[in-house]
Amino acid sequence: SKMTVKAVKMPCTSANVYTKVPDGGWGWTVAFAFFVVEALTYGIIKSFGVFFNDLMESFDETNSRISWIISICVFVQTFTAPLSTVLSNRFGHRLVVMAGGLLISTGMVIASFARTVVDMYVTIGIISGLGYCLSFLPTVTILSQYFDKRRSLVTAVASTGECFAVFSFAPAITALKEQIGWRYSLLSVGVLQLGITVCGSLLRPIIIKEQEVKAQPPEESTETKYMLENEQTCTSIESIDSGVEITTSPSNVPGKTKAEPKSEEPKQHGQIPVENNSTPPAPKTKLLDFSVMRDYSFICYAFFGLFATLGFFAPSLYIIPLSLSLGIGKDHSAYILSAMAIAEVFGRIFAGWVLNKKPIRKIYIELICVILLSVALFAFPFASEFWGLMTCSIYFGFMLGTVAGTHIPLLAEDDVVGIEKMSSAAGVYVFIQSLAGLAGPPIAGVLVDTTKNYSSAFYSCAAGMVLGAVFLALVRPCKTGLCHHHHHQQRQQQQQEAEESPAGAAGELPDDFIDMDIGKAENSGKGSDSV
């Protein structure tokens, strides 16, 4: 008996079932949700630099102690990434993202009433940091599942949400602070981040049920079944695709050994045949698969993310203090951060457009972008006035966009782990990034306090990015070496199967079978004589 599963339009709370990756459909709504989530998570984190001087004056703290707010936030966000993966696999992406939005908003609102920097560590660092993890990672994971051919381009364009947020939030928050103060400005940001819960409600689960392909070679219908049958035991030997099988099943008795042709039922559009009696039960999904840690290419890619993270957040945090130290006004400093955000938009779109081209080895394009990003970080200390800093910021923003918008979706490529293991790999990958997220800004802050020069912060970021480029260059060689070893094992297995092929079995097994029958006949004869 057969039943059909229809890929029909379902309510917003139901899963979308497709016979293949849709590359669109409800995926466009998910892409829009990801755009807004990016704006209200990473966009706020990168815009937090506008509060730096206010927090230093209000709490009478140093650069390094204030930078710990974002460091703890980024650390918690990345350290709890495996938890986000487990919860998403257990409860679904929708509920996890909505819960994350509530945590982010709660942390920001409470932080607006903080009296010490330690209060900010707890509220923004821990509470909002956990919310950022639960909101961002499940959204980018489910977006990758809705797209295949357009995945790089759509993800890159949707990830520009944080760039538009920095472009608009930095001047807006700066102007808002002058009217109502930094505390009420932070409170307004917290209320705005409740929009993440709305975006989470739009994340429909997606189920891909591949349609069975029953096309067979022409000679399949006349396949020869080699069978020798003993009249007493009704034992048969059949040559099958996986080797030789000796069975005494009732299905092999005379009259049932002939292959029965499968009836072809007409298939309606959008329907998937599912056989109740032959389809094996689906394997239980692992909540978190750490087998990716045995993949050398993934290990190298994880180290790339570890060191590259040093250069992701610190420049955005220190660009305004650097500009102020050069005598640039507050308004012009905000413009510099906005220009960086605009350039990052074009960088993300450009990277998505390039990576969407085929054939292309995406890992090499990423490597080139990381090297150019390292050059951008080294260029900041040489800027001495507004236009020089503006030029460096635009160049850095563009190159940051090419890397920041693609390094997580690139996990879905076969050069790293592939789409099947992307969910678990993303959790482990972001978890490994947590160390750099925790150490990056404080290291830069300590260097600034020691040298009394903001240029040292950019040198530390550049050094980390160079190390990341080294490990990224090793990803493809590691994957190629493993693939060659895997193919070698496959060839050995094929050779063994060829030696044990049905043709060889048909020439050898009948002798053993006859000997067995002769032995049984002799025993039977002796028994009759004794009677």
Mean local confidence (pLDDT), 119-139: 91
Residue 458 included in any domain? yes
pLDDT of residue 9: 44
Among residues 167, 182, 211, the one where a domain terminates is 211
Residue 415 included in any domain? yes
Mean local confidence (pLDDT), 82-105: 89
Mean local confidence (pLDDT), 206-214: 66
Residues 194, 318 share a domain: no
Residues 149, 33 share a domain: yes
Instruction: Tell me the backbone φ, ψ of residue 53, rounded to 5 degrees.
Output: -65, -35
Closest C-alpha to 198, from 105, 83, 77: 105
Q: Is the pLDDT of residue 378 over 80?
A: yes
Q: Is the pLDDT of residue 89 over 90?
A: no
pLDDT of residue 105: 94
pLDDT of residue 289: 64
Which one has a higher pLDDT value, 434 or 365? 365
Q: How confident is the model at residue 196 (pLDDT cuts 50, 70, 90)?
A: very high
Residues 393, 305 share a domain: yes
Residues 299, 167 share a domain: no
Q: How confident is the model at residue 506 (pLDDT cuts 50, 70, 90)?
A: very low
Residues 180, 53 share a domain: yes
What is the spatial distance between Cα 26 and Cα 478, in angstroms, rounded to a whole number?
36
Instruction: Tell me the backbone φ, ψ of residue 160, rounded to 5 degrees.
Output: -70, -5
Which one has a higher pLDDT value, 415 or 462? 462
pLDDT of residue 464: 86
Q: Is 6 helix (H, G, I), strand (E, B) or coil?
A: strand
Residue 280 included in any domain? no
Q: Which residues pair with 238 in a beta bridge?
A: 245
Q: Is the pLDDT of residue 380 over 80?
A: yes
> What is the domain extent for residue 454?
289-491
Q: Which residues pair with 235 in a beta bridge?
A: none
Helix and strand numbers (H, E) in the chain are 20, 6
Beta-strand runs (E) in 204-283: 206-208, 236-240, 243-247, 271-275
What is the spatial distance between Cα 138 and Cα 427, in angstroms, rounded to a whole number?
9
Per-residue pLDDT tens digits for 233-261: 444 333 333 333 333 344 444 444 444 44
Residue 510 included in any domain? no
Residues 442, 311 share a domain: yes
DSSP secondary-structure letter at 116?
S
For the CA atoms of the chain, what is the radius of gyration? 31
pLDDT of residue 246: 36
Residues 296, 204 share a domain: no
CB distance 399 to 372 below 8 Å: yes
CATH of the domain at 386: 1.20.1250.20
pLDDT of residue 489: 60
What is the spatial distance between Cα 55 and Cα 228, in angstroms, rounded to a whole number?
88
Residue 116 included in any domain? yes
Residues 485, 358 share a domain: yes
Q: Is 3 helix (H, G, I), strand (E, B) or coil?
A: strand
Per-residue pLDDT tens digits for 274-322: 444 444 454 555 656 667 777 787 888 888 888 888 777 667 777 878 8
Q: How confident is the model at residue 119 (pLDDT cuts 50, 70, 90)?
A: very high
Residues 300, 199 share a domain: no
CB atoms within 10 A of CB 334: 22
Half-sphere exposure of 428 (CA within 13 A, CB side): 22
Q: Considering its fold, how many domains does the chain have in total?
A: 2
Residues 323, 455 share a domain: yes
Residue 365 included in any domain? yes
Residue 223 included in any domain? no
CB distance 376 to 316 below 8 Å: no
Residue 248 included in any domain? no
Which one has a higher pLDDT value, 45 or 264? 45
Residues 145, 26 share a domain: yes
Mean local confidence (pLDDT), 101-112: 94
Q: How confident is the model at residue 525 (pLDDT cuts 50, 70, 90)?
A: low
The DSSP annotation for 399-444 comes to: HHHHHHTTTTGGGGSTTTT-GGGHHHHHHHHHHHHHHHHHHHHHHH
CB atoms within 10 A of CB 194: 16
Q: How confident is the model at residue 485 (pLDDT cuts 50, 70, 90)?
A: low
Per-residue pLDDT tens digits for 40-71: 998 888 888 788 888 888 888 887 788 889 88
- The pTM (predicted TM-score) of the whole model is 0.60
Q: Is the pLDDT of residue 194 over 70?
A: yes
pLDDT of residue 36: 92
Q: Return the minimum-mean-pLDDT range out of 146-155, 349-358, 451-460, 490-499.
A: 490-499
Mean local confidence (pLDDT), 84-107: 90
Residues 295, 196 share a domain: no
Among residues 211, 236, 256, the one where a domain terminates is 211
pLDDT of residue 273: 45
Which one has a higher pLDDT value, 118 or 291? 118
